[in-house]
Structure formats: C-alpha cells, structure tokens
Chain A
Amino acid sequence: MTRELPPDRPAVPVSEPVSVRVTFTRAWAKAIAGLSYLPVGVTEVRSQLAPLTDQLLAALLAEPFVAAAGHRVGERLVELHFTDTAALNVSIQLLGDLSAVLADEQPDTGDAATVTARLTALRCALAAGYADGLRDRTRAEQETISRAVLMARDHAEQALRSSEARFRAVFETSAIGIGIGDLNGRVTDANTALLDMLGCTLPELCGRSITDFVHPEDEASVRRAHRELLAGSSNDHVRLDRRFHGKHGEVLWTHLTLSLIRDDQGAPRYQVAMLEDDTERHQLQTRLRHQALHDPLTGLPNRALFLERLEAAFERAGSNARVGMCYLDLDGFKMINDSLGHHLGDQLLRAVGSRLDRCVSAPNRLVARIGGDEFVILVENTADTDEVIEVADRVLAALVAPIRISGHELSITGSIGVVERAIDATLPIELMRDADITLYWAKGEGKGRWALFDPDRTAREVARFTLSATMPAALERGEFRLDYQPLVRLADGVVVGVEALIRWHHPDLGTLAPGEFISLAEETGTIVPLGRWVLVEACRQAREWYDLVGERAPFVSVNLAVRQLGDPGLVDDVRRILSDARLAPQRLQLELTESAVMTHVEEALGTLQALARMGVRIAIDDFGTGYSNLAYLRRLPVHELKIAGSFVEGLRDDAPTDTTDDDLLNVTVPGETRRDPVDEQIVAALVSLAHTLRLTVTAEGVETSAQAYRLRALGCDHAQGWFYAKPAPADEVTHNITG
C-alpha cells in the first residue's frame, strides 16, 4: 500500500479572500480523499475534516497546551475510515502548514519557536492516535472476521448435524432393512427393519456377514454376487431376489440390493445391503402359480403345467434322450356322468386321479389331468418303449379294483394311447397329438387296453383323412365322373340298362375307384351330396340316351348308400331330379345292398315304397352275401335281385358258348376244376327264389361265355360283367346304342 505524495504540495495563498483555514481543509481533503475504506466524494471529505482542522487550531492556541487533541484527531481519521496509512502520511506532512494558518488568523500568537514545538507535539500525538485507532480497528475487524468464520463453521456443522440426523431418521425408520458393512463384509451398523427381519439385536449382528443369514440354497449365489461386487467386475450395485432365514426360522423372500460405496477418489470404502421383505408377494405368487397350474378337482398338474414340463423336458434333453407319454381316457365316463350325476362323476375323477398319482408319480414322471376324463402321463428319460408300456399296464391294473363312491361300486376301465420315441425325432406337440390318436385306436380296438403308436397306420389314416377332407372341393371342381357298365338281357343279348359307377379323377392320385373313397364319403357324410350328384348326372345321361334312341335307350341303375337311404329328403330329391331331367321313373333303378336294406328295414320300408310307387325300380345288390329275411324280402317293393359275382365265379369254365343244355348239366367233367357245382346250385336256387317272388335276376361279374351260357340255362334274366363290357364313359354307351 504505497501511495506517493504529490511532489509539489499545495502552497497556501496568503492573500486569498477565503480564510486560510478553509484553504487548508480543502487541501487536506483533496490529499486524502480516496484513501478511505468508505470512498466518498471530496466535498464530503472536506466537511468531515473541517472540525478536525478547528480542533487542531484550538489546541495550538490553548493555554496550557495539551497535545492530546492531536491524538483524538488521529483516532478520528481512522473512525472516518481513512485506514490507508498513506492518509496518515499526507496528514502529518500537511500539518506542517498549520502554523501558516495560525499566523493568518492570530498574528499575535506567541513566538514561532513555541508554535513549531507545539505543532510537532500535535503531529506526534496525531500519529500515535491514528496508530492506536488503527490498531483497535484492526483487532476488532480481525475478531469480527474470525467470529464470522466460527459462525459459518457452526452453521455448517449444524447443517451437517441436521443432515446427518435426517439421514439417521431415514435409515432408522425405513421399512427396508439396511445394513452397512466394512469391506470384509462384516456388518457395522443396521437399522431396526433389518434387525426385525433377521430376528437379532445389533450387537448380535455386528461383526457377522449378511450372507450368514442367506438361505442355504441361495447362499452360493449371494456369495458369488458379493465377490463380483467387491472385485468391481460389474457395476456398484447388485440386485437379487433371494431367500433368507427369518427370525423364527421361516423362509424370508427378499429383494436384496448390495451396493459398494466409494470415497471421492473412487476407492471402495464400505458396503450397503438393502433387504426388502417380499415374502407375502412371493407366497401369493406361488399360490397363484399353483392355482394356475393345477387342476382344482384332482390337485394334479393341469394342461398348462403339463405342457410346461413337456417343453422343459425337450429343452433339457441331451442327445439320444427318449421320452414317453400315455394318454388315458376313461371308457364310458360320459355315461356314468349322465346316469349318476356330475357330482359322482367328479368324485370318480378324483379317485382315479389319486390312484394314478400313487401308481405313477415319480421324479421323472408326471401325471396331469388335461380335461374332462383325460389324463396324461409324461415319462421322461425312458430307456425304451417297454418302460412306457409297463406304465400303461400299471395304470390299467390300478383301475381294475372297483371304486366305491357314495354306496356305488363303480368298475371303470380306461383306454391308453402310448407313444415312446427319441426326443430328437419329435416335437412336444407331435408327441401329444400321436398319443391322442393312439388313444382312439385303443378305443376302437375294444377299450380297456393300451395301443402303441404305429407311424404307418397314422400315415394311412392321414392319407384317408386328407382324401375325405378334399372330397367336397373335388365335387365342386368336377373331379368326379360316371362310367357305365351295360346290363344285358341274357335271352337276346340286348342291353336293357347300364349301372352308373363313379370314378374320381384325382389330380395327384389318378383315377380312383369307388372302393377307395365311398366308405370315406360315408364316414364323413360327403356321400349325401356325392350321391345326389350321381343321381343327377345319371338321370341327365339317361334322358340324353332316351332323346337319341327313344324306348331302346337303357335305364340307368344307380347305387344308393345306406346314409342316403336314411336321408328323409331322398324321395323328394329323386322326384325333383327325375323331373328336372324329364326322365320317366321307370328309366331309373336304385341299387341297395342286401345288408343296407335288411339292417335298416323298418326305416327303409317307407322310403322304398314311396320310390316304388313313383315308378322307380329297386334292386337288391350283392344278394346272397348277407343275411336276408325272406319275410321282409317278400314285403319289400323290390323289382330285381343282383346275384353277387362271387357265386357267378363258380360257374366259370372253358365250356364253349354254344354247348347244349346237357353239357351244362354235366357237372362232373374231369379237368373242369373251376366249376363249382354248389355255386351253380345256389345260383339256381336264387334264380328260382327270385322268380317265385316275381323278381327279375341279374348276375354280376360275368367274365366268360361259359358263365353266360349257364346263367341263361338257369333262367337268369340279365347279366353284367367284363364278358359283355367293362365300365366305360357315357360316350361309349352312346356309340353302342346308336351304332
């Protein structure tokens, strides 16, 4: 703080009209203004200094002289904040000029020597006063600032304490258990919640590790996570869902968070474990999961759990692992349910479930109820198929003993589909499906047994199913055609009728004969639309021939399936079809198999009578192969019997077509090995029977001239077979009748 005085200090002009005292004050103010801690303008400084000038002048003149006034002025300068010592320097120098002021105002003042001496004393006193003042002020200010530091520290510490108190309160009242540990994992502090959870006191917990309280099954994983945390290989927090030992030894499910706390330099300092009791939620979840995965009736795993286990078995399986499944369905359960009530049915299911559980359940076997009366058994890691068959046998055996429910002794059997195969070669869904399919084989084979899956059988069934499923579309696409086989009058060889025979021109499989798809069509019900189509097409064709050749045109004979016969709309259908085709009913013959007519004779009778009244011819096909009730046969409105080809076969031999009747009767000609006299007698008897009933007779399957010859000899009316013509498209028939 060195401020040089102005080199030429202002002289006091003696002759100024302004008093020298004022001039002095001005000069003083100008010199020290700006050296104050409180920088004020020069004008203000002048008014501050004017009284000081007066005091100094008064002191100079006072008798007796006292230098203390100088001391007070010095102190006052400090009070006026002229704390820069340059202000003292300038002031002392300027005071030398005060004698000139004195001379101006009080010319009669004593001798110059006295004045100079007094002035020196005043200047010394002023310096001392200023020093005293500045020293006191400095001390005071130092004290003030030191006190401020202390206050700031107090304040800071107080804030720190309240901050700590706040944290402590958060720590203590937290619902989450918190433990603080050193780097060795030893607990140094823990809150009430943690102590409550673990059931110990703070002294008991301190020095131990949190991991000591982890459930044995989770201990290894917690220790591993802990090591990784300390190794710094992961981040500074690890979150886990782990079990702990609760205070009463119960299992405590928790969300566990382990954290590593570092100092400012990033070095690990301590660790914090936070434990949140999750037991209730976990129990609820477990209960809900159990409910979701178990059948409430039997307590067995349900379909969802079964599928989960099945999937898991496939995921876990090593190469070469095998798996087996039994698909069980109780036989006739519906009947029990319907006759004895659902309540009893439920009790039965429960009893069956518990028997299955007892006789099957094992670590690698799972019994589940997957719906209704269906149970399924998963057998994991099978050695071979026999192992699963053995399970199936045991299950069937377990069901043998009658089940006693509410006074009823219920005997129940089950059917089981068994599948066993390498896991590599299959999928869970395939296993389920195949076991289900196989179950129906077991049912079909007579129930109360198991069936083993057979891939070839499935392939065949799949093919059949595919065929039947595509039939309706094939009908719409016009893949079906009719071929016609002539029916020849044996007496003169004239074609009197044709049998319509359906063919399926399958785009992939080629032409299929009726034997390959009619039974399928009957099973699926497609036979009804298909049969109707055959009727429509055959009638249309018959009319076409009638239009071509009139009365010489052949009638059409159409095969009718059992289901068609049972169709209440059949009579109306036939009437409408005939009418649409403008065909006389006499030109339509409907062929029914003997068995079809005889097994449903009561239902069929009305339909046949209605058709017959309409004028439609009725023929019994394959006559002689089934059981006929002759009483019925007599009452039925039948016009014709068709003798099955198997009888006609016995009439074959190499006999010339133009042999005599005698030859025909010679039934013992050696070498004619294919001629069966019994067949011949049967045919004769059938012809005789038919004629007795006033029916005409047609022989089917005529392949040789000898057969034709003998049939004619036996009085048979009509014949049909390759000897005359193979079934052929309508064009060929048209060609023959017009040619």
Chain B
Amino acid sequence: MGRTLSVVEQPNWVPGDIDVQRPSVARVYDYYLGGSHNFEADRELARQIVEMAPDAIPIARANRAFLRRAVRFCVDAGIRQFLDIGSGIPTVGNVHDIAQQLDPDAKVVYVDIDPIAVAHSRAILEGNDNAAMIQADVRDPEAILRHDECRRLLDLDQPIAVLLVSIMHFIPDADDPAAIVTAFSDAVAPGSYLVFSQVTHQGPPDPRLDPAKELYARTASQLAVRSRESIEELLSGWRFVEPGLTHLSLWRPDSPDDVELGGKAFLAGVGRKG
C-alpha cells in the first residue's frame, strides 16, 4: 500500500526539504515488506496503520508479488521498455531486477518525487546503463515524458509498459487523475501495457479506511480510495487482459497455493492499448 508521491509542488531546480522526521510512503512500504530502509518516524506511522488496518503488511506483499508477475507477463508479451512511476525504494525484486533477469537489455525508467528514494535508487542503479531514476511528479506527465533520461532509454514509437502501481490512490480527484492516465495513454504506442493497482472499497466507502487517510495525511501524500466503477472509468482507455481488474493475488497467480483471500482492499490489472 505504499509507494511514493509528494504533493509538494516545486520548480525542478529548487530542492525540497530533506526531512527524515517526516514519514515517507516509500519507507513505510519498505518497512511492511520487512526492510530496514526506514526511520523511526516511518516505523511509527507504519505501526499505527497496521493497528488500524491489520491487512496492510500482507497487502504490501501481495502488491509486490503482483508487480513481479505483471512485469514478467509484460516481458513474455514482448515488452522491453518500462516506465515505473512512483517506484519508491527500489531494493530487490524491482522492475529492472525482474525484467533484466529475463532480458539484460530491457530498459527501465523509474520515477519518484521523494528525493531520498531518488538518491537511493540512483545509488542502486549506478553502473546500470539500461535503467535510470528521475525525480518528477506524476501529475506532470509532460515533464516525465520530456525528461532526458526518458528520451534516452525509451522509444515511444515502440510499445512500452507504464506502471502506475499503488500510486493513483495518492492522486485526489481534484488533481484530475483521468487526465494523467490519458496523457500517458496518448503518449505510448499501440501494443503498450498499463500495469495498475490502487486501493478500492467495495460498495459504500469503508469507514475503517478513514483513520488510514488521516494517517497518510501526515506524509506528503493523501489517500483517495475509489470504487471499482470509478477505477474502471479512470482506465477506460485500456483493454484489460484476463482476468481483468481483480484482487492482487487473484491476478494470474503462479500456483493456486499463492492465492490469499485477504487483500481485497486493492484492485489490480494489466491493460493493453489498441
């Protein structure tokens, strides 16, 4: 449930505050997965969220597992270019790990707005000419697509995979998430894929999520929980491959043993353009 997005808008040449006292969605997510790329402020917040929503940890893992399966699916489908937006702390099992394991020439561009996540990623990606990390805001698709690294690594005339995994629930309706999705849809070639997951509620909004929303408000991100209908509307430009938009562990599990019945708070899927 935690990838990274800051809502603080800044001109790209003025650095933001680097404040480890303020929890980061990226580091909370790392903590859920069992990592130690986090600080006390992050862990404190993570523990409070878990108290509120005990599923948080298995959901984080299920989301991670979905990402892994979806990237493999894309590679199998012939995709060799990936644009992962809101990539967070990219330790093991990240997109370039998965894709380049299958084809070392696969190109990956990570995007995040959290300066620490960006610095971390750059350290990890040092020496990897086929992967890059850029600092940008998902709400400015133009800036992302125009970025030098994006232009260096990605050929938009060929199909790519755009990953909006566990990020769009940090974009409130006021920021026009549909326009963001549309901007990426319009920019990519036919045959491209969209890997998508986000928090949902079934039926009426789940009041249990309200405290979580408040907690996330302490980070630089806010939580926008959406119904299946509004998510489908958001992604209306994409044709979703089987089994469509579904719960994280139900999306093409490796084996029946991997299916967990929890984690229904998320919808995930992979769409194809054209």
Residues of chain A at the chain B interface (Cβ within 8 Å): 1, 30, 33-44, 81, 83-84, 137-138, 141-142, 144-145, 147-149, 151-153, 155-157, 159-160, 162-163
| Contact in complex: A39, B62 (CB < 8 Å) | yes
| Contact in complex: B35, A83 (CB < 8 Å) | yes
| Contact in complex: B68, A137 (CB < 8 Å) | no
Interface of A is mostly: helix
**Bound state CA distance, A467 and B257, in angstroms?**
121
Q: For residue A83, which residues in chain B have a CB less than 8 angstroms away from its CB?
A: 34-35
| Contact in complex: A81, B34 (CB < 8 Å) | yes
Give B60's nearest chain A residue, CB to CB: A39
| Contacts A44-B254, A152-B118, A152-B119; A37 near B15 (Cβ below 8 A) | no
| Contacts A44-B254, A138-B36, A145-B27; A151 near B93 (Cβ below 8 A) | no
Q: Please name 15 further chain A to chain B contacts, defined as beta carbons within 8 Å, in addition to the given A148-B119, A156-B18, sorted by A numbering.
A: A34-B61, A37-B33, A39-B62, A39-B68, A42-B257, A42-B258, A43-B254, A81-B92, A144-B120, A145-B39, A151-B120, A152-B18, A152-B119, A159-B13, A159-B14
Q: B110-130 toward A: CB 8 Å interface, digit per residue (1/0)?
A: 000001111110110000000
- Give the number of A-B contacts (CB < 8 Å): 109
| Contact in complex: A163, B13 (CB < 8 Å) | yes
Residues of chain B at the chain A interface (Cβ within 8 Å): 13-18, 20, 27, 33-39, 57-58, 61-62, 64-65, 68, 89, 91-93, 115-120, 122-123, 253-255, 257-258, 260
| Contact in complex: A37, B258 (CB < 8 Å) | no
Q: For residue B258, which residues in chain A have a CB less than 8 angstroms away from its CB?
A: 33, 41-42
Give the residue of B14, B93, B116, B254 whose beta carbon is less than 8 angstroms from that of A152.
B116
**Bound state CA distance, A41 and B122, in angstroms?**
29
Q: For residue A1, which residues in chain B have a CB less than 8 angstroms away from its CB?
A: 34, 57
Pairs A–B under 8 Å by Cβ, sample size 26: A36-B34, A37-B34, A39-B68, A39-B93, A40-B254, A41-B258, A43-B255, A83-B34, A83-B35, A84-B34, A137-B36, A141-B36, A141-B37, A145-B37, A145-B116, A149-B20, A149-B116, A151-B120, A151-B123, A152-B18, A152-B115, A152-B119, A156-B15, A156-B115, A160-B15, A162-B13
| Contact in complex: A141, B35 (CB < 8 Å) | yes
| Contact in complex: B92, A37 (CB < 8 Å) | yes
| Contact in complex: A37, B93 (CB < 8 Å) | yes
Distance to closest chain B CB from A132 (angstroms)? 15
Q: For residue A30, which residues in chain B have a CB less than 8 angstroms away from its CB?
A: 257
Q: For residue B20, which residues in chain A have a CB less than 8 angstroms away from its CB?
A: 149
Distance to closest chain A CB from B112 (angstroms)? 11
Give A154's nearest chain B residue, CB to CB: B119
**Bound state CA distance, A457 and B48, in angstroms?**
106
Q: For residue A151, which residues in chain B have a CB less than 8 angstroms away from its CB?
A: 119-120, 122-123
| Contact in complex: A148, B116 (CB < 8 Å) | yes
Distance to closest chain B CB from A137 (angstroms)? 7
Give the residue of A33, A144, A147 whose beta carbon is less than 8 angstroms from that of B257.
A33
**Bound state CA distance, A39 and B62, in angstroms?**
7
| Contact in complex: B15, A157 (CB < 8 Å) | yes
| Contact in complex: A38, B36 (CB < 8 Å) | no
Distance to closest chain A CB from B162 (angstroms)? 22
**Bound state CA distance, A148 and B4, in angstroms?**
15
Q: For residue A162, which residues in chain B have a CB less than 8 angstroms away from its CB?
A: 13
**Bound state CA distance, A163 and B123, in angstroms?**
24
Distance to closest chain A CB from B47 (angstroms)? 9
**Bound state CA distance, A138 and B64, in angstroms?**
20
Distance to closest chain B CB from A428 (angstroms)? 58
| Contact in complex: A148, B120 (CB < 8 Å) | yes
Q: For residue A33, which residues in chain B have a CB less than 8 angstroms away from its CB?
A: 257-258
Q: For residue B15, which residues in chain A have a CB less than 8 angstroms away from its CB?
A: 155-157, 159-160, 163
**Bound state CA distance, A315 and B115, in angstroms?**
67
Q: For residue B58, which residues in chain A have a CB less than 8 angstroms away from its CB?
A: 34
| Contact in complex: B68, A40 (CB < 8 Å) | yes
**Bound state CA distance, A160 and B16, in angstroms?**
9
| Contact in complex: B255, A41 (CB < 8 Å) | yes
| Contacts A84-B34, A141-B35, A144-B120; A38 near B93 (Cβ below 8 A) | yes
Which residue, B38, B93, B119, has most C-beta atoms of chain A within 10 A?
A: B119
Give B20's nearest chain A residue, CB to CB: A149
**Bound state CA distance, A151 and B123, in angstroms?**
9
| Contacts A34-B260, A39-B62; A153 near B255 (Cβ below 8 A) | no
Give the residue of A145, A157, A160, A163 whose beta carbon is less than 8 angstroms from that of B36.
A145
**Bound state CA distance, A611 and B62, in angstroms?**
133
Give B118's nearest chain A residue, CB to CB: A152
- Pick the 4 closest A-B CB pairs, nearest first: A41-B254, A156-B15, A148-B120, A83-B34
Distance to closest chain B CB from A186 (angstroms)? 29
**Bound state CA distance, A137 and B155, in angstroms?**
37
**Bound state CA distance, A216 and B115, in angstroms?**
54
Distance to closest chain B CB from A144 (angstroms)? 6
**Bound state CA distance, A151 and B118, in angstroms?**
9
**Bound state CA distance, A153 and B17, in angstroms?**
8
Give A156's nearest chain B residue, CB to CB: B15
Give the residue of A40, A141, A149 whose beta carbon is less than 8 angstroms from that of B18.
A149
Q: For residue B33, which residues in chain A have a CB less than 8 angstroms away from its CB?
A: 37, 39
**Bound state CA distance, A30 and B257, in angstroms?**
8
Q: For residue B27, which residues in chain A have a CB less than 8 angstroms away from its CB?
A: 145
**Bound state CA distance, A600 and B147, in angstroms?**
103
| Contact in complex: A37, B115 (CB < 8 Å) | no
Q: For residue B35, which residues in chain A have a CB less than 8 angstroms away from its CB?
A: 37, 83, 141
| Contacts A141-B37, A156-B18; A148 near B123 (Cβ below 8 A) | yes
**Bound state CA distance, A36 and B17, in angstroms?**
33
| Contact in complex: A144, B123 (CB < 8 Å) | yes
Q: For residue B57, which residues in chain A have a CB less than 8 angstroms away from its CB?
A: 1
**Bound state CA distance, A488 and B25, in angstroms?**
133
| Contact in complex: A155, B115 (CB < 8 Å) | yes
Distance to closest chain A CB from B23 (angstroms)? 13
